[in-house]
Structure 1
């Protein structure tokens, strides 16, 4: 049986003939079967990608709330702060907000003097200090009154970066600081020594950001993951058909998934696979299917993958991950015994390595929790 080969020329000529014959435009809806089915994303995936890329979802909503509050010029309360910071799971009371607002501060007027460095050292330490104090800082221009507010969990590192003019010249404030020099600014520093269960410096920064007088801040949402410090990171399977996790902030990989900065940077630069099965990229692959998995389940999955991948490496009890379960069956994962002990002590509970290991092995309740090795 003879077979007929149809070439691209034949197809083109046929369409040309039809067009001349009927003298009407060809409706290409009739030939949809020629289209490639390369974009197989569902509507759900497309919605999720909008959230991941910051085009929709809680982050965008937070910016909208902040803009509306600034325009309204209404008093700022804890509810407004909670609504704006809901995307990072921070919730405070009115009393806590008042305490933060009334926190003592240092006002430094001679930023180019050695005395300023000494005062900062005495109150918040140095960038090399092992213990870093969190807090908020406010720069105010002496002549124009223009203001900028920021916060950091490592106040000394951040502020000495400003005083040594080491920060990248982006936004409105840093280029102005570089141009006008330190002597033209007043610096107010608010160290936050009270150890809350949340990042109190973010809350206080957000309070000030809602004040329209802070006109050197271009972004009005604290801890903003889509700002100038954003470094998007995506974790896929090997062929990038499945997206397991992504964030606009690298620290989420460190804190939530126990993947060190050195590790993902190494694999990013070399294009190699983490644990032999995961690929890190800076760019989104919009055709990838988004894995429906919680952060906790993904963290547990990675822990199992690490055990398999590192089966020839010795693993002691101190480096093993611990799952904490409360009476309501809520869980919290710690990537080492030490981090679990630190968490308990932070809550005012006594805990030692020996005691915790004993309760892990027996499965008995300790301080209202059950503990398990992962």
Structure 2
């Protein structure tokens, strides 16, 4: 049975999945972020921003969700919504499907809403409801057809979260599906994330484990998983979130290994670009089989106690003031990054793990030291692949500098929301506030998305 459902404002309306009626009161919608400039010349400590905690607090409060509430949750993701846009989004019609979709009529309508191909289609929001318990899950996608194919092939998926294990145990027939296709003439892909965020702040969607959307995953950054010779392409992903869902690779882990020349579990290379000499036959190994292979390698490293213990090499350069001259030019081997950090700290050089990891990934010297992962973990013929990775990173950095040199920047903070024409203008403005900010540190703040003295920096 196919039933078109309407979500309308200021009237008694059927809840999208329940039989009882609810009264939606969309009154007193909050204002969007103020453009009034309030700032202090004194240096303040960074505000600790925890959107997931804010979302849970809002859900538990029972307060209505307005545009200002959503903007607060998405403060560090360069997204916001106005009252009028949110109102328009909430008027979008939803279409309910019984699962699995088997009738010709249902398949035709499903294709009209999602697209006929996983590579070309429509964006929007989808919801699953477990019929026996009423538990609900909401998500969004820039390609609804591809996302639905992902769920419909649940047998091949890793069993993370709450939805997928239930799908595997009880099958599609235990659920109903609701689709919200957004009109591309009125809305953008990011509006789908806004609508998803609205529903995530509703306690009824208790199958979602995360209550704040991740705008980064919609950017579609390609990632490739190769063997150590880059002759075999095991997997191509469109985002870090996909790698987490499909192969149980944490986004921070992906960030560490991507384009770093460090083998993941000593078996795989993660690159953000295709290697032309590689075989691109991605169908030789199923996702399930690849996950099993990775899990086996992880298990081996856990058993040996070496999963996080990758041997590193510390080069001592000439002119190093932390050691005596007779150590200049020597290379010290350590069985792990931790032991290397302990050595540096024993000399009085304070070094955080994340900082040293960044230096290693960019092959940057610090205090006349150079730290890198040992070549012993790489195959003998890796030199050529290493050169390819280096050349790509160099060209990427040059392109990024040229692209972002005069790109507008959006800076947000408490009662602060200003767009600057360029990075230079941003630096000059904060310099006038006695807040030190140079180009290098600004790049880092843009990259990690973390607050600096209470301000968030994003490209417009």
- TM-score (structure 2 length as normaliser): 0.41
Determine which structure has greater relative contact order: mean sequence separation of CA pairs < 8 Å that are 6+ residues apart, divided by chain length: 2
Pick the structure with greater CA Rg: 1
- TM-score (structure 1 length as normaliser): 0.50
Higher helix share: 1
